[in-house]
């Protein structure tokens, strides 16, 4: 009885409950990449961490260089975001890491990928991303032009709470390789590229690709979420090339909301409210 009383008293004193522990969100920031102001993975993750600092019931860790030095920290994660260079160098496909993430996903851990982090090679890596987050960028099937999609309408979903129409210049990828019939996948950010955008140039290879040009007038998905049969959740976000865009409230909010959602945290009715100043955007930039 005394032990129970002491436990209750300690929890009351700390304002916490042993039955309601904080959700753990881990942000994996990739190695320095590209020129100043682009692919600022570490600065971007630290900014997202700061924006989530006052959300009750959530703790956020940032690990740089693409992967934690001590992989055991992932065992306590409720959600993991990979914001890093992809392709053959994607941090999740090195060594035995895909097996680690498969095991965590099977436990219901949420997984998100942002910008270049949505691109992996075809084969087992592509199959893994389709399972974890619902789709991926496929080289010379998907495209990566610099353009300003006009996001004007959004589906009714926790991730879109409080998100207002916005338009920012970024390297927005589209024509993702999604799961067949979009099974379990919900588009979040969609817009229609102009004929000029479809004709390129794309960032690399510059294109144009006939199969992209042929889809003139089709709306394209640039952010999506996935609900997995194991109860876990995932999302892919193709923006995030230009660090300055984190200063846009809706660009930022849709990702912050998604992080809460994949961690199993109730997204507030107005979404995650955060404030970022021009000075904030200058902090923690890679020495390039």
Is residue 7 domain-resident?
A: no
**Cα–Cα distance measured from residue 88 to residue 86, given in angstroms and rounded to the nearest whole number:** 6
We report the CATH number of the domain holding residue 101 as 3.40.50.880
Give, for 128, the enclosing helix (H) or strand (E): helix 124-132
**Residue 246: CA atoms inside 13 Å, Cβ hemisphere, count?**
33
3-state secondary structure of 278: coil
Is residue 133 domain-resident?
A: yes
Contacts of 2 by beta carbon, 8 Å cutoff, 6+ apart: none
How many beta carbons lie within 10 A of that of residue 178, not counting itself?
18
Q: Residue 34 has which token pair? A: 């590209």
Closest among 219, 197, 189, 190 to 145, alpha carbons compared: 197
Is residue 14 domain-resident?
A: no
Burial class (CB in 10 A: 0-12, 13-18, 19+), 119: buried
Is residue 180 domain-resident?
A: yes
Residue-level pLDDT, tens digit, the chain, 288 residues:
333 333 333 333 444 433 348 999 999 999 999 999 999 999 999 999 999 999 999 999 999 999 999 999 999 999 999 999 999 999 999 999 999 999 999 999 999 999 999 999 999 999 999 999 999 999 999 999 999 999 999 999 999 999 999 999 999 999 999 999 999 999 999 999 999 999 999 999 999 999 999 999 999 999 999 999 989 999 999 999 999 999 999 999 999 999 999 999 999 999 999 999 999 999 999 999
Is residue 6 domain-resident?
A: no
**Cα–Cα distance measured from residue 240 to residue 279, given in angstroms and rounded to the nearest whole number:** 19
Is residue 1 domain-resident?
A: no
> Which range marks the domain in which residue 74 is found?
21-282
**pTM of the shown model:** 0.93
Is residue 4 domain-resident?
A: no
**Number of domains making up the chain:** 1
Q: Residue 171 has which token pair? A: 């390297």
Pairing of strands 233-237, 110-114: parallel
Is residue 11 domain-resident?
A: no
What are the two backbone dihedrals, phi and then psi, of residue 126, each rounded to the nearest 5 degrees? -65, -40
Q: Residue 54 has which token pair? A: 């006052």
Pairing of strands 177-178, 185-191: unpaired
């Amino acid at each position: 009885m005394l032990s129970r009383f002491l436990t209750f008293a300690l929890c009351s004193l700390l304002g916490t409950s042993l039955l309601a522990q904080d959700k753990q969100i881990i942000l994996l920031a990739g190695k320095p990449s590209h020129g100043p102001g682009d692919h600022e993975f570490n600065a971007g993750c630290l900014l997202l961490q700061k924006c989530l600092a006052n959300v009750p019931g959530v703790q956020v860790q940032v690990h740089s260089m693409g992967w934690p030095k001590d992989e055991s920290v992932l065992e306590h994660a409720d959600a993991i975001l990979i914001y890093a260079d992809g392709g053959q160098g994607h941090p999740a496909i090195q060594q035995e890491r895909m097996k680690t993430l498969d095991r965590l996903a099977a436990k219901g851990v949420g997984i998100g990928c942002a910008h270049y982090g949505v691109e992996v090679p075809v084969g087992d890596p592509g199959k893994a991303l389709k399972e974890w987050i619902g789709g991926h960028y496929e080289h010379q099937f998907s495209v990566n032009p610099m353009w300003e999609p006009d996001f004007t309408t959004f589906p009714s979903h926790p991730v879109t709470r409080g998100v207002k129409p916005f338009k920012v210049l970024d390297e927005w990828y589209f024509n993702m390789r999604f799961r067949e019939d979009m099974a379990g996948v919900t588009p979040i950010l969609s817009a229609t590229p102009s004929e000029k955008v479809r004709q390129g140039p794309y960032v690399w290879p510059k294109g144009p690709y006939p199969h992209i040009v042929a889809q003139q007038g089709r709306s394209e998905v640039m952010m999506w979420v996935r609900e997995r049969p194991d109860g876990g959740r995932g999302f892919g976000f193709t923006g995030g090339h230009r660090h300055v865009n984190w200063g846009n409230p809706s660009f930022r909010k849709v990702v912050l909301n998604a992080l809460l959602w994949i961690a199993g945290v109730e997204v507030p009715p107005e979404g995650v409210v955060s404030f970022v100043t021009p000075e904030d955007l200058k902090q923690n930039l890679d020495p390039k």
